[in-house]
Amino acid sequence: MSQDRRFSFEFFPTKTDAGHEKLMATAKQLASYNPDFFSCTYGAGGSTRDRTINTVLQLESEVNIPAAPHLSCVGDSKADLRGLLTQYEGAGIKRIVALRGDLPSGMGMASGELRYANDLVSFIREESGDHFHIEVAAYPEMHPQARNFEEDLKNFVRKANAGANSAITQYFFNADSYFYFVERVQAMGVNIPIVPGIMPITNYSKLARFSDACGAEIPRWVRKQLEAYGDDVKSIQAFGEHVITEMCERLLQGGAPGLHFYTLNQAEPSLAIWNNLKLPR
**Catalytic residue list:** 10
Rounded Cα gap, residues 135 and 159, in angstroms = 10
The per-residue DSSP string of 122-184 comes to: HHHHHHHTTSSEEEEEE-TT--TT-S-HHHHHHHHHHHHHTT--EEEEEE-S-HHHHHHHHHH
Helix (H) or strand (E) holding 17: helix 17-31
Backbone φ and ψ for 70, nearest 5 degrees, come out as: -75, 140
Rounded Cα gap, residues 228 and 238, in angstroms = 14
Helix (H) or strand (E) holding 194: strand 194-198
Instruction: Give how far Cα 8 sits from Cα of 30, 154, 256, 257, Å.
Output: 9, 27, 14, 12
Interhelix angle 233-253/175-187, rounded to 10 degrees, is 30
Where b means 16+ CB within 10 Å and e means fewer, 203-219 reads bbeebeebbeeeebbbe
In contact, 103 and 109? CB cutoff 8 Å: yes
Rounded Cα gap, residues 160 and 257, in angstroms = 16
In contact, 196 and 179? CB cutoff 8 Å: no
Rounded Cα gap, residues 143 and 140, in angstroms = 8
